[in-house]
Amino acid sequence: MRERLGADPPVDYKTIIDTFGGGYVDGYLRVLDPGCVNAFYDFIAAAEERAEANEQLWGGGETELSELDEAGARLIPWASTDNEEFLYWLALPDQDPGEWTVVVNEARSSRWEHVDLTFPRFLVTVLTGEIRSEILSDPFPASPYDFQPSSRFV
């Protein structure tokens, strides 16, 4: 994975994927899984597609996310939604992947939301309703939330 991404994902993400696999939360949030045969859940394919799509947007005049001003900073997607929003890690150079924070991009928009939380903390606080994203769908998450492993969809 490191060869294709240029970085290893956070250990907490790898632990979740190794334990549960990628999947579908509340029929809305797709947690991506490296090498998943279902293209909607494939982490590697999404990372490559999003890097190219964002490059085209920013090269075409869209305003680039200011957090990417630091040389070597980049976005790595770890989830998407049915509405085509993407959730990314803000990967900063020389930063441990466990410290990467979360960035949410609104579908078909240049609207970005930087959440200064790491991957596991973001998941816990969003799923418990402790925080609400301004971009993610209002009914998300359900109570109790539902998780369907992507292995059921391949």
What is the pTM (predicted TM-score) of this model? Answer: 0.91
Which stretches of the chain score pLDDT less than 70? 1-5, 154
pLDDT of residue 5: 67
pLDDT of residue 104: 96
From CA 98, how far away is CA 51, in angstroms rounded?
A: 21
> How many domains, the chain?
1
State the burial class of residue 18 (Cβ atoms within 10 Å of its Cβ: 0-12, 13-18, 19+). Answer: exposed
Residue 105 lies in a domain: yes
Residue 151 lies in a domain: no
From CA 5, how far away is CA 34, in angstroms rounded?
A: 11
Residue 72 lies in a domain: yes
From CA 75, how far away is CA 82, in angstroms rounded?
A: 20
Quick: pLDDT tens for 32-57. Answer: 998 788 877 888 888 888 888 888 88
State the burial class of residue 133 (Cβ atoms within 10 Å of its Cβ: 0-12, 13-18, 19+). Answer: middle
Domain range for residue 38? 2-145
pLDDT of residue 95: 93
Instruction: Encode burial over 58-75: b for 16+ CB neighbours within 10 A, e otherwise.
Output: eeeeeeebeebeeeeebb
Residue 141: count of CB within 10 angstroms of its CB: 19
Residue 152 lies in a domain: no
Both tokens of residue 141? 């998450």
Backbone angles phi, psi at 148, to 5 degrees: -115, 115
Residue 153 lies in a domain: no
pLDDT of residue 1: 58
Residue 150 lies in a domain: no
pLDDT of residue 107: 86
pLDDT of residue 41: 85
Residue 154 lies in a domain: no
